[in-house]
Structure 1
Amino acid sequence: MACILGGISLPSQASHKITTSSEDGIFTFWKKKKAETESDTTKGKDKTSKLKKYEEIVTSEATTKKGVIDIHRVKKDYYFEISDSLLSRDFLLVNKISKVPSEINELGFNKGINYQNLLIRFELDTLAEKIWVKTYHPYYEGKAGDAITQSVEDNYIPSIRESFDLACFGKDSSTYVFKVNKVFDGSEKSLNDLFGILGMPGAAVKDLSTISAAKSFPENLVMKSLLTTKAEGITITIEVTSNIVLLAKEAMKPRFADQRIGYFTTKHFYYSDDQQAVENREFVNRWRMEPKPEDVEKYLNGELVEPKKQIVYYIDPSTPPQWRQAIKNGITDWQAAFEKAGFKNAILAKDAPANDADFDGDDVRYSMITYAASSQANAMGPSVIDPRSGEIIEADVIWWHNVMTALHSWIRIQTGVIDPKARDNKFSDEHMAHAIRFVSSHEIGHTLGLMHNMGASAAFPVDSLRSKTFTTKMGGTATSIMDYARFNYVAQPNDGVVNITPQIGVYDKYAIAWAYRWIDEETPWDEVKVLSQMIRKHENDPFYHYGPQQDGKNTIDPSAQSEDLGDNSMKASRYGLENLKRIVPEVEKWTYEEGKGYEKAGKMMMGIIGQWFTYANHVLANVGGVYLDQPVYGETKSAYIQVEKAKQKDAIKYLIDEVINIPQWIANAEIYKKSYPIKESVIGDIEYAPTTLFRDLHARIFYSLLEKERLLRMQQNEAENGEDAYTLTEMMSDLHQGIFSETIKNKKLDVFTRQSQKNFVDVLIISQNQTLEKTSKKSLQENQKANCCPFHQHMPLLCDYGVKSRELFQDHEQEDETSRYANRNLFYATMNRVSDDVSVKRGEMLRIKDLLTNRLKIADEATRFHYQDLILRIEEAMNTH
């Protein structure tokens, strides 16, 4: 079948494989048309042609940049000149932020951020004398020769995104010239929807926007623009860089992903006549790593060889000199992992050249560690992907200057007890550089394709983290630097542990070997057996386990949590608490500055409370928890294992002893006489009265503990395991005995205990009412819409190095969930009205009412009024008064 492009019949190709060359007849046609046009113009017969002579467009005043596509600047106008041989070739349009104003700098929109990628093709329309720019998704492929392949071609055609009027032919009629101002000067947003993607109201104001620079190179071109918008009375100008990159004719051979190992992926669908279901595959996002042709035999014989193309990262010149070597070391530390894949000198770190006019950090030929002057305390590692194969063609690490504040807080609070170097208000450059090296390695891991492996820390027994021998041998705090394992808060002062910082571990080297080992097979299907065997070798070894990151608001698997350590949350957290108890009396001493106020002491105390609350959440995840795995046929592992009854019961005991009944060491710390806990915010520092702070934290704990998904998981556990399960009624009884222990003893209650009991009763009432509400049709539709698009591209992955996940009054993990969490949707919440949690909550409220009714004669007035209030609340909620 043929498709019609402006009156010319061209052979139709599948959407994933369209090529056009001079042999297709275009060259001959245009040569003939040019001759006809010139002849008619000479005779004065052609009055309608829009095409001018080359010299009339590319005048003597033109400045030309030669490259993959020549760029001509004629006064204020920019023209592209594209070769006939590049029509219908695949290009990747990559839009990046280069410079930002202060108004958006603090929002995390900084230089180096890649905000839009489009796969484009330039195609001719000879009748209309236009160049079309088409976009397409290369995710669908039909088997050559099969009948269904024609349907693939018909159902997944490219879309026309932009068009340009042809201005003239090239000098030899094999190139075509067209003006491109409108897509780079803010007139059109078809190829650069900057403000829409950033979520800003309005569009670019043309009179306040302009093209600022243009460059062309053998395989890409760069256009820089200053785009201005006005929103709510504020004028914002952002410099952006648009790269148009010529992709290889032959895409890299993809590698099929495996759910048992954690990589970012690109979706793909295969169609063939012999199917009874479409074959869905995911491609691993990875760099093209191949031996040189002359080294193939050596490589296959097990010798280390240099790859055909090395991965090179350049350090931003704006990076402070004292951190550059640490960042470089964090990059080259990955070399040991690539050696497991058979390659030496595979990954390099270099300073950006100082006097190279052609070097531009926004040019996608260069992978950059971009240093951003911002108060943001974070880092992230996005990459640019060839969507045809999952090949990483460029990567960046965005490094916000203030990430060091987060590192300083963690290191001091988590390791200050065991490491005197970690106690000062300002660390030595050497000590901070050591932490920066860890962050560098973690972010580079993302740019190599690795996802977070939050299960890596659970591979180490808790007590082993107190062993100098073990930690020296294994290095760090987990088997993967891609975990949020942070620093060793388990080790105690006399343990002598010195290896307390996360490092590239066993899992990381294994994962790189799996994705990057070159396999001499023709197709990705041929590789599957080899790759599966690599995983099966370590089937039951926890050091090689992959635990995907979970939504922090609904953690199911307690062995794959953020910021935890060891294989037992309660044990690790109790060790952590012992260290926090040692730190609290030292806060004033460690933050002392002559003549200064106590703001740093207040902020450090808030950090300690944040760590205390983090431990509580780690423990809480064990209640109703399920250890998750993703076995394949032939393996002996289970997909779901309920957390042991003893562990769940111990988790409730921990919560009662160390959280719900707030310990005096944290509730009434001596430092509160000088400063309340202080939280930084956009409106300035906020000082929180301890009673207010702990009331809020208690509410969070109770709501999380009694959420319907958790309780329904506990019912599933009881259904499966009977008496071996930790049941809802047992948990509620244990909570009752703990929360109301002073009431049961008929003792006077203090403020914190009264707050705790009120919080618990309020949560019982509110969560029960929510459970009995009908699910609205709207919410169901919204849920379906949120999960309907299989090609939602992940935004750059933002690592939680900032304090926001530890800021106690904000939601955790606010990034795009499709990038951060594994696509594992376990569904428990249904038929809410007939689940046991309603009965158990009502039963507990009646039990509380009976208890309080029998304690109304207590002499303490505040306690008696408290009991009367709770009884009224319960009666009103249950309509029993």
Structure 2
Amino acid sequence: MKLSTITPNHKFSRLFLIACILGGTSLQLQASERSILSAKDGIFNFWKKKNVKSESDSIQGKDSDSKLKKYDEIISSDAITKKGVIDIHRVKKDYYFEISDSLLSRDFLLVNKISKVPSQINEMGINKGINYQNLLIRFEADTLNEKVWVTTYHPYYEGKKGDAITKSVRDNYIPSIRESFDLACFGKDSTSCVFKVNKIFDGSEKSLNDLFTVLGMPGSALKSLSKISKAKSFPQNLIMKSLLTTKAEGITVSIEVTTNIVLLDENPMKPRFADKRVGFFTTKQHYFNDKQQALENRELVTRWRLEPKKEDVEKYLAGELVEPQKQIVYYVDPATPAQWRQAIKDGINDWQIAFEQAGFKNAIIAKDAPVDDPDFDGDDVRYSMVTYAASSQANAMGPSVVDPRSGEIIEADIIWWHNVMTALQSWIRIQTGIIDPKARANKFEDEHMAHAIRFVSSHEVGHTLGLMHNMGASYAYPVDSLRSKTYTDKMGGTAPSIMDYARFNYVAQPGDGVKNITPQIGVYDIFAIGWAYKWNNKANPWDELSEQTAMLRKHETDPLYHYGPQQNGKNTIDPSAQSEDLGDNSMHASRYGLKNLERIVPQVEDWTYEEGKDYEKAGKMMMGIIGQWFTYANHVVTNVGGIYLDQPVYGEKKAAYTHVEKAKQKDAIKYLLEEVIDIPEWLTQADIYNKTYPIKESPIGDIEYAPTTLFRDLHAHIFYSLLQKERLLRMLQNEADNGNDAYSLTEMMSDLHQGVFAQTIKGRSLSVFERQSQKNFVDALIIAQNKALEKTSKKSLHASDCSCGSDHGHMPMLCEYGVKNNAIFADEKEEQASTYAKRNLFFATMHRVSDEVSVKRGELFRIKDLLKRKKNIGNEATRFHYQDLILRIEHALSNK
């Protein structure tokens, strides 16, 4: 579920990549996208013609002037040879590659994976199976200089054969030399080149394996503490294993890595052009031709190469299901506990139904990895693996290795962290425990946990088939339909796509009789696989565009087939495409969710009871409940200033931007005032607080949060999110577009004022939580005031590096609760992999001249006038509170 992904031409720092890994996000990086190239690497020619050798490349007569040693002098009788696509010779401590002349200038994909890690790295979420660097390379012989060059290039630019501009394409996108090797000798029959390769695998050079830089660790591998540990060669690929060690700040870290060098097909798979209305990972492609007046920019769908066997083509085209030439096979790690293996395999095999939509039967299959095959290696790119990682991380992710020339997936890796079950157990218990007795225990029955594991397996496999998150899927189901046994049995699960983060059915109430409460593969998933994988005999991707478009047009108005990309968690715009929400109305669904949470809180002690144990599990469950409550609040906030986003094309009548209805926005504020800002007593006065405070796990150990502190900080997040500049500017756009039919900024501020200061207006004394709430609201308004006047000294008091994007400096635990609770799947931010996944809506302006600043300042004046009238009313704590707020506001307004 996820990795943060980077487009091929995206400029980024290596620190960004490691931040994505260490932050628990998923890296759905495509093959060449993971090459982590620096600026000095330049840009690379992708030209696909047969290589035309220069004079220095010519191997004719290469022995006549050469001073090279003879083959037997280099590859002596001591040599241990592994025959394969490139022969590997080990002569004592030295390793030599012998590459045939026929493979010079052929495309290879270099794939670097992590194989073994020490505890320091494990605890950061970097584990076996993670693919951290890919390069598209060629080996080039330079006999004049007695060198073998390794060049690298980006295959994203193509010129039409025979056009004049194609020569310019060649000249403007040339390969760059990444590494060089001294030519040691020629092969016995002079049709191959032999060269020593120790330096790129023993830690001497990082040109083709930049492990520690990619991981954001200072320094490089130390040759004296590194070594080559294994070498294998096969007909289409070779494997080199290395143990690389570095030292940083007095800490020694050794990591075993595996480098695959894979010979790519001379004839790349015919690509399929992506469409913004269906969510697939993509690779970029740019096409030049003489007739253009503008460069044609395309994105290619990431998918496996499924084709009917030659003898079955006619049957396939006639609509008969046939087996593909090559199945998609996933191997389950033998390190996987036996009781979970079948569930993981079931999650893989569940996709069979989707491939039938594409015309293939038995297209995808799960197998146990062989334990007695010496040639089988989970790090070998010939095998797609579900790798089980012994780690405290509570994650799972599904990246894949892709041929960047065409978008073909050539191998997939699902990383399954052992502790993902802790996240599943927490979600299931909190979201469904009140309607499902099996979901209440500290430890589930194996059958119940296996059911959840099957869901996660299917989701991750979906990513390895090319599918991105479809966060808009769950919006297709009406909220009240999720309470219907008939509807949920018929439709399945909680959304029409398992690629949504539609978790478990928290809407269903006791007595509804709903049993189908777990996400599962739905109609969108089946359709999307059919759209991407249906084979045709068209000559090129342009010829199939009309057919592909017709498939999409058929369902253009059906919400079950709608694709809603994952959004930026710091600035979620579309409330119909949110993470972890259910149904078509956030407020309605969340109110049902709150009813269930209120029923659960009194049960916390009973559900977590273990004789003789402390209340740690109860404290953590209570933190999970509060996290779920806060998740609902974030779902609701997005409706305020929200815009429903779509991807219309010419010929469709859909709108690209539709502002959320006024009634919904007003109801969102009402929900926040009643259920969040006025914190319900069942949450603040829970009996369990007599035994334990809410507990949050952290790198320094468990932290027990005092309820007043916890809710103060959660309140702050809500206020800063509500008053976020971009949100208010969207509200102003709505007012400009729709006039009185819009929920205006001044109307929202008035509603907030009446709610936050309700007890003040009535002249009553305030509770601790009410005083905290008012201070947070005023604080958020003052920060906006300070920013408008460019008071950087004020801003520094509230600076925050919190990933939730708030402007306040409150506890970092808030970052954990943006739209999620407890642990998250590691692929949460993967959607940056494709420009099709990201909507860059620009709502920004000069802060000082924006109406949103005027409205915030006007609210400060209104609050000051109210407090001056009420400053002598209430108990002493309330009066002190009012005096304090008056001074704060006057100080801010006076610009001191």
846, 861, 867: which is aligned to 1:852? 867
CA contact (8 A) 2:304 2:409 kept: yes
Which amino acid letter does the alignment assign opposite residue 327 of structure 1? I
> Could you give the per-residue CA deviations for residues 197-219 of structure 1, whole angstroms, max 9, x where no partner exists?
11111100001111000000000
Q: Could you say which residue in structure 1 is the equivalent of 2:559?
A: 542
Distance (Å, rounded) in 2 between the aligned partners of 1:291 and 1:743: 73
319, 330, 337: which is aligned to 2:347? 330
> Could you give the per-residue CA deviations for residues 7-26 of structure 1, whole angstroms, max 9, x where no partner exists?
xxxxxx9632142499x999
CA contact (8 A) 1:64 1:70 kept: yes
Structure number with greater CO (CA < 8 Å, separation at least 6) is: 2
Distance (Å, rounded) in 1 between the aligned partners of 2:824 and 2:776: 19
Q: Does 1:17 align with 2:17?
A: no
Structure 2: any 5+ residue segments left out of the alignment? 1-43, 793-815
Which amino acid letter does the alignment assign opposite residue 640 of structure 2? V
299, 306, 326: which is aligned to 1:309? 326
Identity %: 77
Which amino acid letter does the alignment assign opposite residue 71 of structure 1? I
> Could you give the per-residue CA deviations for residues 455-483 of structure 1, whole angstroms, max 9, x where no partner exists?
00000000000000000001100010000
Q: What secondary structure is seen at the aligned counterpart in 2 of 1:763?
A: helix
Which amino acid letter does the alignment assign opposite residue 641 of structure 2? G
148, 161, 185: which is aligned to 2:178? 161
Q: Could you say which residue in structure 1 is the equivalent of 2:876?
A: 861
Q: Could you say which residue in structure 1 is the equivalent of 2:12?
A: none
660, 664, 675: which is aligned to 1:658? 675
Q: CA deviation at 1:737?
A: 0.6
> Could you give the per-residue CA deviations for residues 566-609 of structure 1, whole angstroms, max 9, x where no partner exists?
00000000000000000000000000000111111000000000
Q: CA deviation at 1:804?
A: 9.4
Distance 1:750 1:127, change over 3 A: same
Which amino acid letter does the alignment assign opposite residue 62 of structure 2? K
CA contact (8 A) 1:697 1:808 kept: no
Structure 1: any 5+ residue segments left out of the alignment? 1-12, 38-48, 776-801
Q: Could you say which residue in structure 2 is the equivalent of 1:444?
A: 461
Distance 1:830 1:813, change over 3 A: farther
Q: Does 1:30 align with 2:59?
A: yes
Q: Does 1:75 align with 2:89?
A: no
Q: Could you say which residue in structure 1 is the equivalent of 2:843?
A: 828
CA contact (8 A) 1:553 1:812 kept: no
Distance 1:291 1:26, change over 3 A: farther
Q: CA deviation at 1:823?
A: 2.2
Q: CA deviation at 1:805?
A: 6.3
813, 831, 843: which is aligned to 2:858? 843
Q: Does 1:492 align with 2:521?
A: no
Which amino acid letter does the alignment assign opposite residue 376 of structure 1? Q
Q: Could you say which residue in structure 2 is the equivalent of 1:571?
A: 588
| Alignment map for 1:550-561 (pairs within 5 Å) | 550-561=567-578
387, 405, 408: which is aligned to 2:404? 387
Q: What secondary structure is seen at the aligned counterpart in 1 of 2:344?
A: helix
Distance (Å, rounded) in 1 between the aligned partners of 2:91 and 2:585: 69
Q: Could you say which residue in structure 1 is the equivalent of 2:637?
A: 620
Distance 1:803 1:214, change over 3 A: farther
363, 369, 374: which is aligned to 1:357? 374
Q: Does 1:475 align with 2:492?
A: yes
May I ask how many residue pairs the two structures share in their alignment? Answer: 830
Which amino acid letter does the alignment assign opposite residue 712 of structure 2? R
> Could you give the per-residue CA deviations for residues 598-639 of structure 1, whole angstroms, max 9, x where no partner exists?
111000000000000000000000000000001000001000
Which amino acid letter does the alignment assign opposite residue 693 of structure 1? L
> Which moves more between the two structures, 342-351 or 821-830?
821-830
Distance (Å, rounded) in 2 between the aligned partners of 1:808 and 1:322: 25
Q: Could you say which residue in structure 2 is the equivalent of 1:879?
A: 894
Q: Could you say which residue in structure 2 is the equivalent of 1:769?
A: 786
CA contact (8 A) 2:383 2:411 kept: yes
> Could you give the per-residue CA deviations for residues 693-743 of structure 1, whole angstroms, max 9, x where no partner exists?
000000000000000000000000000000100000100010011000000
Q: Could you say which residue in structure 2 is the equivalent of 1:289?
A: 306
Q: Could you say which residue in structure 2 is the equivalent of 1:793?
A: none
Distance 1:457 1:814, change over 3 A: closer
663, 674, 686: which is aligned to 1:646? 663
> Could you give the per-residue CA deviations for residues 182-210 of structure 1, whole angstroms, max 9, x where no partner exists?
00111000000000111111100001111
Distance 1:97 1:811, change over 3 A: closer
Q: Does 1:818 align with 2:847?
A: no
Distance (Å, rounded) in 2 between the aligned partners of 1:436 and 1:689: 34
Distance 1:807 1:770, change over 3 A: farther
Q: Could you say which residue in structure 2 is the equivalent of 1:208?
A: 225
Q: Could you say which residue in structure 1 is the equivalent of 2:451?
A: 434
Distance (Å, rounded) in 2 between the aligned partners of 1:693 and 1:808: 15
Distance (Å, rounded) in 2 between the aligned partners of 1:845 and 1:663: 27
CA contact (8 A) 2:164 2:290 kept: yes
Q: Could you say which residue in structure 2 is the equivalent of 1:597?
A: 614
Distance (Å, rounded) in 1 between the aligned partners of 2:297 and 2:831: 22
Q: Does 1:691 align with 2:708?
A: yes
Q: What secondary structure is seen at the aligned counterpart in 2 of 1:434?
A: helix
Q: CA deviation at 1:858?
A: 1.2
CA contact (8 A) 2:631 2:818 kept: no
Distance (Å, rounded) in 2 between the aligned partners of 1:826 and 1:736: 29
415, 422, 431: which is aligned to 1:414? 431
CA contact (8 A) 1:552 1:813 kept: no
Q: Could you say which residue in structure 1 is the equivalent of 2:3?
A: none
Distance (Å, rounded) in 1 between the aligned partners of 2:390 and 2:250: 25
Q: Could you say which residue in structure 1 is the equivalent of 2:799?
A: none
CA contact (8 A) 1:254 1:389 kept: yes
Q: What secondary structure is seen at the aligned counterpart in 1 of 2:431?
A: helix
Q: What secondary structure is seen at the aligned counterpart in 2 of 1:869?
A: helix
Distance 1:371 1:809, change over 3 A: closer
Q: CA deviation at 1:668?
A: 1.0
106, 122, 128: which is aligned to 1:111? 128
Distance 1:465 1:510, change over 3 A: same
209, 212, 226: which is aligned to 1:195? 212
If the length of structure 1 is used for normalisation, what is the TM-score? 0.92
150, 158, 176: which is aligned to 2:167? 150
CA contact (8 A) 1:377 1:803 kept: no
Distance 1:820 1:89, change over 3 A: closer
Q: CA deviation at 1:534?
A: 0.3
Q: What secondary structure is seen at the aligned counterpart in 2 of 1:177?
A: strand
Distance (Å, rounded) in 1 between the aligned partners of 2:248 and 2:55: 50
CA contact (8 A) 2:345 2:367 kept: yes
CA contact (8 A) 2:438 2:448 kept: yes
CA contact (8 A) 1:18 1:88 kept: no
> Could you give the per-residue CA deviations for residues 74-108 of structure 1, whole angstroms, max 9, x where no partner exists?
00000000001001000000000000000110111
Which amino acid letter does the alignment assign opposite residue 865 of structure 1? F
Which amino acid letter does the alignment assign opposite residue 335 of structure 2? S
Distance (Å, rounded) in 1 between the aligned partners of 2:124 and 2:818: 13
Q: CA deviation at 1:824?
A: 1.1
Q: CA deviation at 1:816?
A: 6.6
> Which moves more between the two structures, 833-842 or 549-558?
833-842
123, 128, 131: which is aligned to 2:148? 131
CA contact (8 A) 1:676 1:689 kept: yes
CA contact (8 A) 2:645 2:657 kept: yes
CA contact (8 A) 2:283 2:834 kept: no
Q: What secondary structure is seen at the aligned counterpart in 2 of 1:526?
A: coil
Distance (Å, rounded) in 1 between the aligned partners of 2:818 and 2:745: 33
Distance 1:772 1:880, change over 3 A: closer
CA contact (8 A) 1:570 1:651 kept: yes
Q: Could you say which residue in structure 2 is the equivalent of 1:97?
A: 114
If the length of structure 2 is used for normalisation, what is the TM-score? 0.91
